[in-house]
Structure 1
């Protein structure tokens, strides 16, 4: 029976590149998938595209492609390797053009295809209600993006025209991995059980190193060997969607029943109804069997008919955050940091700084869980951050922390300050017939 080998080259936009190169070179793969989009990531990419019509794709696209393209295509003595990625972000066509340019520069004759159609900004009804209670129209000029979560359709079309590299925008994470399974095994679009199984494979791989020991290690409780050389996972899948999760032999990390179980429940609200654009997956009966070291068999996934609507992620501008930090060390560090916090908050009040929210915390003391320990640390760092409607007001927050150098308690040092615009994200549902997917070769 044919076995498909799919590797995960990235789990987010800024992920490490070396494990992906290791997979491309040593993984004996049919497909290498880079999953690089979060909801806020694509909103930020849309901001970039506004100022640069040729921009808006993943900033690491070029470096990743330069490293892995030499292994892509039909190479003597190897499986044909193809790449699928949503690194196109807000501009998959421009990303595809850049990948084609890099391929030509490397002397490679590769076919690069862009999947477009997820950008539905101009198709949203003004009266449409977002999940935060606001309407689309109420956002006005603050609205910067609206991207539908596409499924497998565009990727399948790209593979049918023999693409070596498929570049998408917003595609649901597991769909990037499900598409090659459907293409290679000829699964029907309503073969819900196999689609549910294939979606489980995608869900386990989509966060890359998380299933091979990253974000899992806890020394003394959950030990992971050679975490510094963490290897990214790959799946061996058969025509019925049965899969085995593993990694490149000799790479660092760990693939076990426990790592797979933790990834299984990651970002899943209802295991019996995991909604994707392709299928309503049922993970409620999933189990894992360790067949050998770093080889885990996956079983028990199922599926039902796909939802009739697609999720749309909407990005909009929502004010500014001003932040300042200052460190205190030595005897009495906590008392001096507490005094500095009180001083800054009082001065912001006296100056009439307009803030919608403000947070003042001592990192290492009460930043995460409130005051939990009576042990006096040798150093502590004050952080004050506030959310403001106007940038000019946000600037004043960091400035006031910085002035603690000469206007606050003794021994302050290492001041930093910054201001950043808030890109907020909300969601809505759109009928799938409102979204038109196509490819650009």
Structure 2
């Protein structure tokens, strides 16, 4: 006989018919329900009882559902809250997601969607399980990494679309996987797709599938990436590389939560959480009319920035030790030792390729080093990417200080422009310059 306690759901709505509908539906799911007609009653119940989920209307007699979300975030941030909004109130729903809501429903409430949302919310892992798993996968104790782990922990409890920004090699896909694995969709598929690697003529088929005979070479029915990710997460890497024609179709699929295969007559309902990433400045792409503004707002409900390795130099030693330990296990050889000068060289290097480049540098050095000790020369780091806080320049090679400083400035600005694909705004941010200062320096150096 099963004697485990029933999970408790708090329903907050001033309409008796809505409360009754939710109570009956959730009761049939073997869940215990508590109802409140306003903010005051909801706060009193939250004070007395522990709940596993809260469903709240947006409009309440003595406040708003958004205020209740904020109250719960302060009191019990691991309690999922779903907002019930009027049909078409997308802006309200997005504000709720940004405030920390788990998901939202629109009126009139569709019962299959309600049951799906409730089941998903009740699959949330425990808070302790979240933090421990994230710490194991994201190495580093620097403040930027501590903040990143905290944000992943919060976003894993939501169904909001997330735009993950960051440089190439910084670990954006790992962050996306952690958001998926620590959330209620963890047991369902995580489907990553590099949008820049799909030929434009095959994109619609790859994303939405096709029916047999719909085009030359379609010898059988094939499900698309949306269908493959049903119930789970679809990670759109390098989303800025999507052509405008595909952006229109992607926007519709996200809005309608349904896709139609190439050659198909009917739409298929899909339940996917969308995470996306790009190393480009997506806002600048919108300004340049290379990326649709309406799709940008749909994808960028919440932005999560992954710090570059330059922003967390204190983590380089721990990351290097981890990589060398893994290489020793993979090769069956004793673990190589990092000479202090080699470690100092790593800390003074700019790492335009971030963690991925660090791994490649150490793998090469691990192979080339003598006596299981990695010397600075084994790293073969590019001198042009060494930081200004590295070794001092040789004064015998400097004829004119102004010319030398100008050459260093030119080199760093060119590098920042190349790393950001000549996006001046992003390059200025990379160098901690105002856009006005950046524009002045470009003109002075003849780079404009």
TM-score (norm 1): 0.25
User: Which one has more relative contact order, counting CA pairs under 8 Å at least 6 apart?
Assistant: 1
Return the structure number with greater strand share.
Answer: 1
Answer with 1 or 2: which has the greater Rg. 2
Q: Which has the higher helix share?
A: 2
